[in-house]
Structure 1
C-alpha cells in the first residue's frame, strides 16, 4: 500500500502512516478493525529502527481505516492524490482464490478475501508489505533459521515445527510454511526505507497511486463518467 513516512527530528522517530479505505460486501467494522490491529501489531513487534543520515530512528506504524460504499469509493479513488489512501475491496472470494494487491509493488489498491482469515492469519500484513514495496525473498528454504519474514510466500520450506503438519517431510503436502508463523523482521522494515527521499518537511512518499477499483470477483472495475 502506498504510505507516507513522517520523520520527526526531535524525538528520532519515523512513522509509516497509511489509511485503508475498505469497500465491498464483506467490509465490516469488525473485520476492518481486526485487519488494522494485525498490521499495526505485527509491524511494531520487532521494535525496529532505521539509519537515516547516520542517525537511528525508531520506526512506528500508524494504520487508520474507513468503511465506504461503492458509490462513495468511486469519486474518492478518482480524485485521490494522497499517498496514505489505499483502496481495498473485501469479499468472500475472487477469481484467483487469494488476496492480492494491484499492479506492481507499492500499489495502493487490492482485493482481499475473507477465506484468507484476514486479521488473524498474517495475510493482511503480508499484503501490506507488498504495497510498501517489499517482494517475496529469493530464499525459499528457511530451515535452521527460525521464523521466516512476513514476506515469505506459500510453499516456503521451514523447520517441522513451523509447517502445516510437523509430521510430514519438508516440501511434501503439509510440509511447508504455515503462514501463522511468519513474523515481520527488522531487515524487512529496513528495506522499506531503501532509496526513499524525505522532503524539507520530513515527509517521504512510499509506493505509487493507481487508484484502481475492483469488481466483486477481483477484476478491474470499469468506471464510466
Structure 2
C-alpha cells in the first residue's frame, strides 16, 4: 500500500498518510470502517519509534477511507500520482481464495475477500503491511517467543494457546497460528522505513503506484481510453 510519510522536526514525529478507496460488491460503510480501525489500532499499538538521522521519531498512522463505484475507481486510478491513494476491491471470494495486494511488495492495489473476516481477523493489517513493503518473516517457528508479528503467515508454529486448537500437535491440523493472535511489532514499524529517503520538505514516498483495478473474481481489469 503506497503511502506518503511526512516528517515533523519540531515534534519529532513522522506521520504516514494513506487513503483506501474501497470498491466492489462488499465495499460497504460498516466493513470499511472495521478494516480501517483494525489497521489504525494495530499499527499504533507498539508505539513505534524510528531512528532518522540519528534522532528518534515517533510514528503515527493517518489512515482514511472512501467507498467508490467501479467507475469512480477507474477515474481516480487512471494516471494517479498520489502515493496516499490505494485501491482495494472487496468481494465475498476470488480465484485465489485469499486476500492479496497487487503484484509486488509495496503495490497500491488489492483484492480482499470477506471470507477472511476483514476487520476482525488481522488480515487487513497483514495486507496493509505487504503494501508498505513488508514481506513474510524468515522465522516461521515462534514457539517460546510470544505473539508473532503481523506479517507472520498462517502456517507459523506458535505456542499452544496461540494455535487454532490449543490441544493440537504443532504443525498438524489446528496446530498452527490462529492469525487473530498476530500483533504489529516495533521491529516491523522500523522495517517500513528502511531505505526510505525524505526530501527537503520532509516528505517520503513509500511503495509504488501500479494503479491496477480488479474484476469481481480478482482478475486484472484494463483501462479503456
TM-score for both structures, normalised by structure 2 = 0.99
Deviation >4 Å, runs of 4+: none
Encode CA deviations 1:110-133: one digit per residue, 9 max, x unaligned. Answer: 000000000010000000000000
| Correspondences of 1:55-74 after superposition (within 5 Å) | 55-74=55-74
Mapped to 2, the partners of 1:90 and 1:180 lie a distance apart of: 20
Show structure 2 runs of 5+ residues with no match.
none
| Structure 1: distance between partners of 2:155 and 2:32 | 28
Deviation per residue, 1:42-73 (Å, 9 max, x gap) = 00000111100011101111101111001111
Per the alignment, residue 206 of structure 1 pairs with: 206
CA distance in 1, matches of 2:51, 2:223: 43
- In structure 1, runs of 5+ residues without a counterpart are none
- Kept in 1, the 8 Å contact 2:132–2:192? The answer is yes
Q: 1:103: how far off?
A: 1.1
Give the equivalent residue in structure 2 for 1:145: 145
Alignment of 1:98-113 (within 5 A): 98-113=98-113
Q: Distance in 1 between matches of 2:98 and 2:48?
A: 29
Query: Which residue in the other structure is 1:131 paired with?
Result: 131
Partner of 1:167: 167
Q: Which residue of 1 aligns with 2:90?
A: 90
Structure-1 residue corresponding to 2:24: 24
Per-residue Cα deviation, 1:174-222 (whole angstroms, up to 9, x for no partner): 0000000000000000000000000011100000000000000000012
**Which secondary structure state, in structure 1, belongs to the residue aligned with residue 213 of structure 2?**
coil
Instruction: Name the Cα RMSD after superposition.
Output: 0.6
Aligned residues: 225
Contact 2:98 2:116 in 1 (8 A): yes
The match for 1:37 is 37
